[in-house]
């Protein structure tokens, strides 16, 4: 049995008894019922995910997958492909936005080279799982073989398992890869059935001419390859990216281990779509971290029926929105666990006049 199939088979429904117990406790805490809004529902869902009535999330980690894209040669990004390895080194030095925000919430940053188109120097913090030096240019040929696409997903599963085995109890998705919004837009269009023009944005900040070129490249690639929207591996192989496959694996791996997984922005959202086609049972384990400025992100939320926790006009990627949302998940669980009940506080629940 492959690691992918084994992992999918392990993903079960949320634990209703734990969620129900969390809901009962929420209803006895010293506050009007429902007054903490979505924080209450989030804590109840995390109880169902973890199978613990009073979950404690104390060891968060963000897994940042890095890879390059052959389609970058079509002029679809405002930055050259050389930026991918440069940014990976910045992650390892602790100087990127994801490092700053991860430090802010106390999350470990796990940097994975799954397909950077350069040889990176060895570094104690770099997880080297390079499957290829980037993908092929999917405007001309499939991005990768089906076998390579499955390998990318399985690398993500393995990375999630390693993080969880080392103590992580809350995971987030992050990525780095020049031109990966082009791949993500193609994946989202393929799976949701939306027109490329509706789900393709400016990425790193391309102008109107660049955006038109990007949309045309995606339209032509979808027409050329005809990816099967019900087969996430087929979509990934034809128009995806290695880091997108890796993140789909991280999502599946977290769900199989009953660990909440916070989905970052648009690229991570495309990975969530791939994961959902492979294992619809994984969707309840996904927590949408934030709403990206990328226009296609709304299509992801609609398709998966998810509601983001934050909306800060962010579009950086790297996992930045997801790690901020991690603190919301932790806060929700702390309220459930640490807040006194009416009985414990000696406060009357209702007053009659």
pLDDT digits (tens, 9 = 90+) for 328-346: 999 999 999 999 999 999 9
DSSP H stretches of helix in 226-319: 232-239, 242-256, 266-278, 297-304
- Comparing CA positions, the residue from 143, 171, 317 lying closest to residue 233 is 143
Looking at residue 352, its pLDDT comes to 40
What would the mean pLDDT of 138-143 be, rounded to a whole number? 98
pLDDT in tens, 28-52: 999 999 999 999 999 999 999 999 9
Active site residue 344: no
Q: What is the pTM of this model?
A: 0.97
Q: Do residues 135 and 241 make contact, with C-beta atoms less than 8 angstroms apart?
A: yes
Tell me the fold of 60-328. Answer: Rossmann fold (3.40.50)
pLDDT at 158 over 90: yes
| Alpha-carbon dihedral 137, 142, 147, 152, rounded to 10 degrees | 40
> How high is the mean pLDDT of the chain?
96
Residue 262, phi then psi, degrees to nearest 5: -90, 120
Q: Which residues contact 33 (CB under 8 A, 6 or more apart)?
A: 26, 27
The pLDDT of residue 350 is 66
Whole-angstrom CA distances from 313 to 96, 288, 289 are 18, 15, 13
Topology, domain 3-55+336-345: 1.10.1610
Which of the residues 318, 338, 344, 353 is marked catalytic?
318
Is the model's pLDDT at 323 over the cut of 70? Answer: yes
What pLDDT does residue 204 have?
82
pLDDT digits over 77-109, tens only?
A: 989 999 999 999 999 999 999 999 999 999 999
Segment 67-76, tens digit of pLDDT: 999 999 999 9
At 205, the pLDDT band (50, 70, 90 cuts) reads confident
**CA 198, CA 221: separation in Å to the nearest integer?**
16
Query: Domain ranges in the chain?
Result: 3-55+336-345, 60-328
């Amino acid at each position: 049995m492959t690691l992918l199939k084994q992992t999918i088979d392990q993903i079960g429904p949320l634990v209703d008894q734990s969620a129900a117990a969390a809901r009962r406790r929420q209803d006895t805490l010293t506050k009007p019922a429902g007054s903490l809004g979505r924080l209450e529902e989030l804590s109840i869902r995390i109880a169902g995910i973890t199978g613990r009535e009073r979950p404690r999330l104390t060891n968060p980690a963000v897994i940042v997958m890095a890879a390059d894209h052959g389609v970058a040669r079509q002029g679809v990004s405002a930055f050259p492909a050389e930026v991918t390895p440069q940014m990976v080194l910045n992650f390892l030095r602790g100087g990127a936005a994801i490092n700053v925000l991860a430090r802010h919430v106390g999350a470990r940053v796990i940097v994975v080279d799954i397909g950077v188109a350069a040889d990176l120097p060895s570094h104690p913090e770099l997880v080297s799982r390079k499957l290829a030096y980037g993908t092929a240019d999917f405007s001309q040929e499939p991005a990768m073989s089906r076998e390579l696409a499955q390998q990318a997903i399985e690398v993500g599963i393995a990375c999630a398992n390693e993080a969880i085995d080392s103590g992580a109890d809350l995971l987030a998705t992050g990525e780095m890869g020049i031109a990966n919004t082009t791949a993500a837009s193609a994946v989202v269009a393929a799976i949701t059935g939306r027109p490329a023009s509706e789900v393709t944005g400016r990425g790193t900040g391309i102008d109107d001419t660049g955006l038109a070129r990007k949309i045309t490249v995606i339209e032509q690639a979808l027409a050329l390859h005809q990816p099967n929207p019900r087969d996430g591996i087929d979509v990934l192989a034809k128009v995806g990216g290695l880091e997108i496959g890796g993140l789909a694996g991280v999502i599946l791996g977290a769900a199989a281990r009953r660990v909440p997984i916070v989905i970052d922005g648009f690229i991570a959202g495309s990975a969530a779509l791939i994961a959902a086609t492979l294992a619809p049972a994984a969707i309840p384990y996904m927590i949408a971290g934030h709403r990206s400025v990328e226009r296609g992100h709304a299509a992801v939320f609609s398709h998966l029926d998810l509601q983001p926790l934050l909306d800060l006009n962010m579009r950086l990627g790297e996992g930045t929105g997801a790690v901020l949302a991690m603190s919301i998940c932790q806060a929700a669980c702390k309220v459930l666990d640490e807040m006194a009940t009416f009985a414990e506080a000696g406060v009357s629940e209702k007053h009659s006049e």
